Chain A
Amino acid sequence: MSRPLLVVDDDADLREALEEVLRDAGYEVLGASNGKHALEVLGAMPLQPGLVLLDMMMPVMDGGGFARAMRQMPQWRDIPILVFSASANARQVAEEIGACGHLRKPVDVDTLVEAVRKHMRA
C-alpha cells in the first residue's frame, strides 16, 4: 500500500481541486487548512505521509512555522516537503526550510502530478 499525501493550503477550493487531481492520479490524499491543522492531521494519521504539499502563506501557522515544528519531531523529521507557493522566490524559500523541491502557482495538472510522483517517498 502506498503512502498517503498531505495537502496543506488555506484556500478551500484550491485544496479540494488539488485533492481531486491527486486522487485521480491514484493517491490517497488528506487536506489541512493551515500549519497547525496540518500538525493535528499528521498526528492522527496511522501511516506517515509520503509527501507534504505545503503552501507558505497561511493564517494561524504559515508554511515556515509548520516545517520547523514538523522537523522537531523525530518521527516526522524525514517526511519530504514540496513547497507550493505563489511567491516569486519559492525556490529560495524551499531551500531555506529544507524542502525537497518547489512548485510555483499556478501550475497545470501534468506538472503537479509529475512533481508529486518524483518526490513521493515510498
Chain B
Amino acid sequence: MRPLRVLVVEDNPDDEALVLLELRRGGFRPEALRVQTAEAMREALAGGAFDVILSDFSMPAFTALEALKVLQETGRDIPFIVVSGSIGEYEAVDAMRAGARDYFAKDRLVRLGAAVERELAEARARRERARSELDRTLLALASEVLTEPEDLDERLRRLVWLPVPRVADWCTLRLYEKGLGGLRLVALAHPEPARAARMWEVDQRSPLTVDMDFGPARVLSTGESELVEDALARPRPVTHASEYVQVLRELGFRSAVHAPLRGRSGVLGVLSLAMDGPRRLGPEDLSFAEELARRAGLVLENTRLFREVQDAVRLRDEFLTVAAHELRTPLTTLRLQLGSLLHHANEDQLAPELVTRVERSMRQVLRLGTLVESLLDVSRLTSAEPSLSPERFDLAEAVRAVVERYAAEAEGVGCELRVSARPGLWGRWDRARVEQAVAALVSNALKFGPGRPVEVEVTREGPVGRVQVLDRGIGIPEEQLERIFERFGRAVSSRSYGGLGLGLYLARRAAEAHGGRAWAQTREGGGARFTLELPLEKEERA
C-alpha cells in the first residue's frame, strides 16, 4: 500500500469514505483532508503538500470549477479529478476545459485507482520536465554570469541569486581560507534581508571550520556532496557548532544540499542550497547544486591559475633584470681588460704568442656575450613583442661590421667569407637587433659549411634592403625550412652540432618586429640561402 496525500473537496463525509475506500482498493494508503469552501481549500494548499485533489462537482457553497480556480491561483501542478453523483456530459466537458484531468460518476468508481496512478505518473513527468528545463536555463545563466568581466567576488554574488527563490530559499557560497582553517561566507542570497543579515553575522562570529562535522564543513573535509533532507531528523547530534546550529534552527532551516567547488589542489569551497519551511530538497536539487558548484569551481580555478601566471611573469621579469645585470657586468670587465691588453700589445712588446692567446680569449668572451644576449632575449621575447630602440644607420655598413667580426672565425674553419654591399641603404632600425640577426645568419653559415666559401650580399629590392647569406654547407631538408626558425628549432642533431637553437628564431623575430621578414631556401648545387629583409627609409625607396 502506497501512501497518498489526498485533498477531498466534498460536502458529504459518506461520499468521502466511498472515494477513499476505492483508493485503498486501488493499492493506496490515503491520508485525506476534506474541505468544502474556497477559504478552507486555500488554507489547506498553503499548509501542506498533496498528491491529488478529488472534487465533487457541485456543493452547496462551492463548485469544482471554483476549486480549479483556487488551485490555479497557487500555481501548483496537482492532478485534479472530478468525482460527482450526477454529472452530465456538458458539465464533464466544462470541467475538463477548466483544467480537470478526469471525471468519474460516484456509482462507477472502479477505474479511479488506475486513473490516480496514471495522473501521478504524468504529474511527475511534467514536474521533471519543468525542472530540467529550469535547471538548464539557470545553468546557462550561471555560465554567463561566471564569465562576465567583473571581479570574481561580484560574479559569485550574482551567481547565488540564480536559484533563489525558484529552486531554494537560500543559496550560499563559502570559500576555503587557509588562515581561517575553514570556510568564509563570500556570497549569500535570501529574499528577506533580515534573515540574510543574521546569517552573515553568525558566519562572521563563528565561521565553519574543518573540524565541524556537519554541512559545508564536512563537504570541505570529505570532498563529497551531501543531501540533508531533514536536518531535524538527523540521527547524530551535531557537536562543535552549537551556536551555528542554533541560528540555523532559529532561521528555520530544515532541508539543504551542499556541493564542493573542486580545484586541482582539492576543495576550494562549498555551494549550498537550503529551505526554510517544510519544503524538502531532493536528489534533483543535489545534482543541480553539484553542476552549479562544478562550473563555479572551474572559474575559480582558472582565475587562480591566471593570477599564478601573472605572478610567474612578474617574477621572470624581475629575474631577467637581475640576471642581465649579473651576466653583463663581468662580461664588460673582461671585454675592457682584453681590449685594453690588445691595445697595449705593441707598446708593451707582448710576445706574438701571448697576443694570439689574448685574441682567442677575446673571441670567446664575444661568443659568451652573444649567447648571454640570445638567452636573455629569448626569455623576454617569447611573451611580448620585442621593444625596439630604432636609430638611423646604413644597413650595408652594419653588415660589413658584423662580417668583419667573424673574419677570424671564418679563417679558423677554413671558410672564405666574401661580402658585397653597396653602401647607402639607410633606414631606422634597432642596431643591436639587426646586427644580432645578421650575425646569426653568418655564424650559421660558418657552422654548417666549414671549408667552403660563404657569400654575404646586401642589395636594395624596391622598398626593402635585402641581406643574403649563401653557403655551400650541408643544406636544409625541404620540410625543415620553416622549423629551423622556431624557438629551439634545429634541423640537425644537437649531438653533432652545438648551439642553443635560438639564432634564427631571434633573427626572424627581429625582422618581423621591424616589419620585415626572414626565410631560408635550399640552393641548387647544395647549401642554403638565408635572406633577411628590412624596410628602408621612405625617401630611400627609389
A residues adjacent to B (C-beta < 8 A): 11, 13-14, 17-18, 20-21, 24, 57, 86-89, 91, 104-110, 112
User: In this assembly, does B33 line the interface, its C-beta being within 8 Å of a C-beta of chain A?
Assistant: no
Partner of B369, one of A106, A109, A112: A106
26 contacts between A and B (CB under 8 A): A11-B329, A14-B330, A17-B333, A17-B336, A17-B337, A20-B340, A24-B340, A24-B344, A57-B325, A86-B328, A86-B329, A87-B321, A87-B325, A88-B380, A104-B328, A105-B328, A105-B329, A105-B332, A106-B328, A106-B332, A106-B334, A106-B369, A107-B332, A108-B335, A108-B339, A109-B335
User: Do A11 and B333 have beta carbons less than 8 Å apart?
Assistant: yes
User: In this assembly, does B145 line the interface, its C-beta being within 8 Å of a C-beta of chain A?
Assistant: no
Give the distance in Å from the alpha carbon of A20 to the alpha carbon of B325 in the complex: 22
User: In this assembly, does B398 line the interface, its C-beta being within 8 Å of a C-beta of chain A?
Assistant: no
| Closest B residue by C-beta to A17 | B336
The list of the 6 closest CB pairs from A to B, nearest first, reads A109-B339, A86-B328, A106-B332, A105-B328, A106-B331, A17-B336
With A89-B387, A106-B369, A108-B335 as contacts: A14 and B340 at CB distance below 8 Å: no
Give the distance in Å from the alpha carbon of A11 to the alpha carbon of B337 in the complex: 14
User: Do B325 and A109 have beta carbons less than 8 Å apart?
Assistant: no
Give the distance in Å from the alpha carbon of A107 to the alpha carbon of B340 in the complex: 12
Chain A residues lying within 8 Å of B329, measured Cβ to Cβ, are 11, 14, 86, 105
With A18-B336, A106-B332, A109-B340 as contacts: A86 and B325 at CB distance below 8 Å: yes
With A13-B333, A14-B329, A106-B369 as contacts: A87 and B324 at CB distance below 8 Å: yes
Chain B residues lying within 8 Å of A17, measured Cβ to Cβ, are 332-333, 336-337, 340
| Most chain B Cβ neighbours within 10 Å, of A21, A57, A86, A87 | A86
Given pairs A86-B324, A86-B332, 19 additional interface contacts (CB within 8 A): A11-B333, A13-B330, A14-B336, A17-B332, A17-B333, A17-B337, A17-B340, A20-B336, A21-B336, A21-B339, A21-B340, A24-B343, A86-B328, A87-B321, A87-B325, A105-B329, A106-B369, A107-B332, A108-B335
User: In this assembly, does B242 line the interface, its C-beta being within 8 Å of a C-beta of chain A?
Assistant: no
Give the distance in Å from the alpha carbon of A110 to the alpha carbon of B362 in the complex: 14
Give the distance in Å from the alpha carbon of A109 to the alpha carbon of B335 in the complex: 8
| Closest A residue by C-beta to B343 | A109
CB distance from A16 to the nearest CB of B (A): 8
CB distance from A33 to the nearest CB of B (A): 13
Give the distance in Å from the alpha carbon of A106 to the alpha carbon of B338 in the complex: 13
Give the distance in Å from the alpha carbon of A14 to the alpha carbon of B343 in the complex: 18
**Number of chain B interface residues as a range:** 20 to 34
Give the distance in Å from the alpha carbon of A89 to the alpha carbon of B432 in the complex: 12
Give the distance in Å from the alpha carbon of A89 to the alpha carbon of B320 in the complex: 12
With A89-B387, A91-B389 as contacts: A107 and B335 at CB distance below 8 Å: yes
User: In this assembly, does B376 line the interface, its C-beta being within 8 Å of a C-beta of chain A?
Assistant: yes
Give the distance in Å from the alpha carbon of A17 to the alpha carbon of B332 in the complex: 9
| Closest B residue by C-beta to A84 | B332
Chain A residues lying within 8 Å of B321, measured Cβ to Cβ, are 87
User: Do A88 and B387 have beta carbons less than 8 Å apart?
Assistant: yes
CB distance from B336 to the nearest CB of A (A): 4
Give the distance in Å from the alpha carbon of A20 to the alpha carbon of B334 in the complex: 13
Chain A residues lying within 8 Å of B340, measured Cβ to Cβ, are 17, 20-21, 24, 109
CB distance from B432 to the nearest CB of A (A): 7
Give the distance in Å from the alpha carbon of A10 to the alpha carbon of B226 in the complex: 64
Give the contacts of B430-475 with A (CB-CB under 8 A): 432
Chain B residues lying within 8 Å of A21, measured Cβ to Cβ, are 336, 339-340
Give the contacts of B333-366 with A (CB-CB under 8 A): 333-337, 339-340, 343-344
Chain A residues lying within 8 Å of B380, measured Cβ to Cβ, are 88
With A17-B340, A24-B343, A104-B432 as contacts: A88 and B333 at CB distance below 8 Å: no
Give the distance in Å from the alpha carbon of A13 to the alpha carbon of B340 in the complex: 14
| Closest B residue by C-beta to A112 | B336
Give the distance in Å from the alpha carbon of A110 to the alpha carbon of B327 in the complex: 21
Give the distance in Å from the alpha carbon of A117 to the alpha carbon of B36 in the complex: 112
Give the distance in Å from the alpha carbon of A105 to the alpha carbon of B327 in the complex: 10
Chain B residues lying within 8 Å of A106, measured Cβ to Cβ, are 328, 331-332, 334-335, 369
Chain B residues lying within 8 Å of A108, measured Cβ to Cβ, are 335-336, 339
Chain B residues lying within 8 Å of A18, measured Cβ to Cβ, are 336
With A88-B376, A88-B380, A89-B387 as contacts: A109 and B324 at CB distance below 8 Å: no
| Most chain A Cβ neighbours within 10 Å, of B333, B337, B369 | B333
Chain A residues lying within 8 Å of B330, measured Cβ to Cβ, are 11, 13-14
